[in-house]
Chains A and B, each alone.
Chain A
Amino acid sequence: MSREEIFAKVVDIVRPFAKDKEALDQATMETNILEDLKVNSARLVDVILEFEDEFDIEVEDEDADAVNTIGDAVELIEAKVS
Chain B
Amino acid sequence: MTDAHDLSRRERFALSMQRAVSRVTSFFWIPASAFTMRFLLGYRIRNASRLRKRFRSLIRESDGPVLICANHLTMVDSALVAWALGGTWWSVFNFRWVPWNLPEVTNFASGGLAQLATWLTKCIPIRRGGRREEVSSALRRVEHLLSRGETALIFAEGGRSRTGRVEPDSVAHGMGRIAASVAGCKALCVYLRGDRQQSWSMLPVVGDSFYVDIDMFEPTSDSSGIRRSRDFARQIGERLAGMEEKYFARRK
A65: B residues at CB distance < 8 A: 132-133, 136
CB of B229 within 8 A of CB of A61, answer yes
Interface membership of B224, Cβ < 8 A:
yes
What interface size band does chain B fall in?
20 to 34
Interface membership of A12, Cβ < 8 A:
no
Interface membership of A49, Cβ < 8 A:
yes
CA distance A58 to B229 in the complex (A): 13
The smallest beta-carbon distance between B106 and chain A, in angstroms, is: 14
CB of A59 within 8 A of CB of B158, answer no
- Residue on B nearest A66 in the bound complex, by CB: B132
Instruction: Name the residue in B131, B181, B225 with the highest tally of chain A Cβ atoms < 10 Å from its Cβ.
Output: B225
A45: B residues at CB distance < 8 A: 173, 226, 229-230
Interface membership of B30, Cβ < 8 A:
no
B180: A residues at CB distance < 8 A: 61
CB of A41 within 8 A of CB of B229, answer no
Interface membership of B4, Cβ < 8 A:
yes
CB of B230 within 8 A of CB of A49, answer yes
A56: B residues at CB distance < 8 A: none
Partner of A42, one of B4, B136, B158: B158
Other than the given A45-B226, A59-B225, A65-B136, 15 more pairs (CB < 8 A) read: A42-B172, A45-B230, A49-B227, A49-B230, A52-B225, A52-B227, A58-B224, A58-B225, A60-B4, A60-B226, A61-B225, A62-B4, A62-B136, A64-B132, A68-B132
